[in-house]
Structure 1
Amino acid sequence: MSPRTPRLVLIGPPGAGKSTVGHLLAESLGVTFRDTDADVEATEGRAISDIFVDDGEPYFRRVERAAVQRALGEHDGILALGGGAILDPDTQADLTGHSVVFLSVGLADAAGRVGLTTSRPLLLGSPRRQWQELMEARRAIYEGLATVIVRTDGLSPEEVRDLILAEVGA
Structure 2
Amino acid sequence: MSRPRVVLIGPPGSGKTTIGEALAERLGVAFRDTDADVEAAAAKPIGEIFIDDGEERFRALERAAVSAALAEHEGVLALGGGAVLAAETQDLLAGHTVVYLQVGLSDAVKRVGLASARPLLVLNPRSRLRKLMEERLPIYERLAGVTVATDGRDPEDIVAEVFASLPEAAQ
Matches within 5 A, 1:14-163: 14-163=12-161
Identical residues among aligned pairs (%): 57
Q: What are the Cα deviations for residues 42-84 of structure 1, in whole angstroms up to 9, with x where unaligned?
A: 1111000000001110110000000000000000000000000
CA distance in 2, matches of 1:75, 1:117: 32
Task: List alignment gaps of at least 5 residues for structure 1.
Answer: none
Q: How many residues align?
A: 168
Task: List alignment gaps of at least 5 residues for structure 2.
Answer: none
Q: What are the Cα deviations for residues 8-45 of structure 1, in whole angstroms up to 9, with x where unaligned?
A: 00000000000000000000000000000000001111
RMSD: 0.8
**One-letter amino acid of the counterpart of residue 110, structure 2:** G
CA distance in 2, matches of 1:116, 1:107: 12
1:26 touches 1:33 (CA, 8 Å); kept in 2?
yes
1:109 touches 1:153 (CA, 8 Å); kept in 2?
yes
**One-letter amino acid of the counterpart of residue 140, structure 2:** Y
> The residue matched to 2:151 in structure 1 has which SS?
coil
CA distance in 2, matches of 1:126, 1:104: 22
